[in-house]
Amino acid sequence: MFQAPRGTRDFTPDEMEKRRYVERNMTSTFLSFGYGEIQTPTFENIELFTAKSGESILNELYNLTDKGGRELALRPELTAPVIRCYVERLQMEPKPLKFFYFGNCYRYDRPQKGRYREFQQAGCEIIGVDTTEAIAELLALAFNLLKNVGLKNVRLNIGNLTIINAIFKRLNLRKDDQKILLPLIDKSQFDDLKVSLEDCGISEKNIEQFISILQRSEANEIRSFIADDPDAIKELSIMETIIGLLKNAFQITAYDIKLNIVRGLDYYKGLVFEIDAPLLGAEKQLCGGGSYELVSLFGGTEVPTSGFAIGLDRTILALEAEGFKFPPSKLDAYIIPVNPDMICKSIEIVQQLRNQGFSADFDQMRRGIGKSLKYADSKHIEKVIIVGPKELEKNAVTLRDMKTGNQDIVSIAEIGSNLKKI
C-alpha cells in the first residue's frame, strides 16, 4: 500500500470544507483592507532563497536539479518570490502595492503536530511605504484575519531587531556570538542565554538587565539601556507611535512588546511581530512577519517592504482547539426518484435547481425512498424532493422538510421559490 510522503497530508472533503472556509473568510478580510491577490510559481531558482540566507538554508529546502540542469527549490515561503515578481515586473506601479497570497510551502522540517513538510500559508506584502500608519494597519490586518475567522484566544507580540542590535552593540557582542544567542532569545531559553552571555564575558549586571528587558520589555527600561544609540531611540519612539495607533485607532489591545521576538529568517530589520494561539502548545505560532530588505538584493531600487504570513494548517488546529463550529456547506436539496422511470424527470429537476443557483444532487444508487432519506439525513440535507408517478401526472413533486418531517405537494415550476422559503 502506498502512503503519502512523510510530512504531507491528504485532505478529505470534510477537511477541505474547513480550509476553504478559512480561505474565503481571509480573502474577504484581505480585500477589505485594499490588498490584491498575487500568485507566484511553486518552485523558483534556488538562488532566490540562498541569496540572503546563504548555503545554510539548503538543509531546510526541498531542492532539485531539473532535466535542463537548473538548480531549483520548492518555495519554503512566499516573501522572496513576491519580491522577485515585484522587481521583475511591478517596480513602476504606483505605491503602495498591497499583495496577498495563499500558497503551499515546503520545508524539510521534522514533522509533528502543527509542523509539516508541505503546509499552506496565507500572507501579504506591502511595498513602498513604512509610515507608522501603514505598519499599524499591517499589524491590525494580521490580527483581524485571525479574529474574523473566529479565533478568540490570540495575542500579538511585537519586537524590534534594531533595538536588539543596539543592545548587542552596547554589550560589545560579536556577530558570531549573536548567531548563538539569537535562537536562545527566540525560544526564551533564558537560563541557557545567561550561560552563553557569561561565556561571552558579559558582566553580571548587564546580563541581568538584558534578560530583564527581554522578559518585561518595558519601554523606559529599554530606553535607558540604549540611550547612547540615537537610531535605536528613534526606532523605539516609532514603535510606540505604531502601538498607539494600534490601540487608539484600530482598537486592538491584545498585544505585548516582546523584544525576544527575533524571527528566524535573515531578511528582517526593524519591527517584527508574531501572533500566537496559546492553546496549541509547541507549534503555537500562527503568524510571523515584520519589515525586511530584499528588493536591492534582487536587483531592484530599494523601497520599504513589510509583510507577514499566517499558517493555515495551524489556524485550523487553533480553531478546533477552541471548539469552533465550522459552517457546514450542505446541499440545498436532494432528489429521490421513487423508481427507475422517474430518473429522467429527476435529473431535469436537479438541473433546473442547479441553473437557479441551488446546490442539488439526486440518488444515483437506486436505493429506494427509505434508504435515500436516511442518506440525506446523514448529510444534514434539509430539503428532499421525492419524484413519484402520481404527483408527476400533475407536474408536481413531494417536498419534504427533513427537520420537521412535513411534506407538501408543490408544482415543479415552483420548487425553487419553495426552497428559498427555508
Grid cell, residue 218, equals 518595558
Among 119, 210, 225, 273, binds ligand HAM (CB under 6 A): 119
Beta bridge partners of 63: 73
Residue with Cβ nearer ligand HAM (79 or 372): 79
Residues touching ligand HAM, count (CB under 6 A): 23
Among 29, 121, 217, 372, binds ligand HAM (CB under 6 A): 121
CA distances to 22, 256, 273 from 226, rounded to whole Å, are 42, 20, 20
Closest approach of Cβ 217 to ligand HAM, in Å? 20
- Amino acid present at 248: N
CA distances to 44, 47, 49, 63, 69 from 66, rounded to whole Å, are 11, 15, 17, 10, 5
Residues 72-91 that bind ligand HAM (CB under 6 A): 77, 79
Query: Rounded CA gap, 189 and 183, in Å?
Result: 9
Q: Quick one: which segment of 44-52, 119-127, 204-212, 317-325 binds ligand HAM (CB under 6 A)?
A: 119-127
Closest Cα partner for 93 from 127, 124, 123?
Answer: 127
Is-contact 131 238, C-beta < 8 A? no
Query: Rounded CA gap, 278 and 119, in Å?
Result: 20
Closest approach of Cβ 120 to ligand HAM, in Å? 8
Residue with Cβ nearer ligand HAM (119 or 210): 119
Closest approach of Cβ 79 to ligand HAM, in Å? 4
Residue with Cβ nearer ligand HAM (288 or 300): 288
CA distances to 364, 375, 388, 392, 414 from 348, rounded to whole Å, are 14, 21, 14, 13, 14
Residue with Cβ nearer ligand HAM (79 or 346): 79
- Give every CB contact of residue 227 below 8 A, 6+ residues apart in sequence: 233
Orientation of helix 204-216 relative to helix 190-199, angle to 10°: 150
Closest approach of Cβ 294 to ligand HAM, in Å? 9
329: how many CB neighbours lie within 10 A of its CB?
11
* Interaction of residue 362 with ligand HAM, rule CB under 6 A: no
Query: Rounded CA gap, 49 and 58, in Å?
Result: 9
Grid cell, residue 262, equals 527575533
Closest approach of Cβ 280 to ligand HAM, in Å? 9
Among 115, 155, 194, 223, binds ligand HAM (CB under 6 A): 115
Is-contact 306 270, C-beta < 8 A? no
Closest approach of Cβ 68 to ligand HAM, in Å? 28
Closest approach of Cβ 355 to ligand HAM, in Å? 41
Residues 218-277 that bind ligand HAM (CB under 6 A): 265
Closest approach of Cβ 117 to ligand HAM, in Å? 7
Closest approach of Cβ 14 to ligand HAM, in Å? 20
Strand 97-106 to strand 36-37: parallel, antiparallel, or no bridges (unpaired)? parallel
Question: Which x/- pattern, by CB under 6 A, does the window 284-323 give for ligand HAM?
Answer: -xxxxx--x--------------xxx-x-xx---------
The three-class DSSP label of residue 300 is coil
Residue with Cβ nearer ligand HAM (119 or 168): 119
Question: Which residues contact ligand HAM by CB under 6 A?
Answer: 77, 79, 107, 109, 115-116, 119, 121, 123, 125, 265, 285-289, 292, 307-309, 311, 313-314
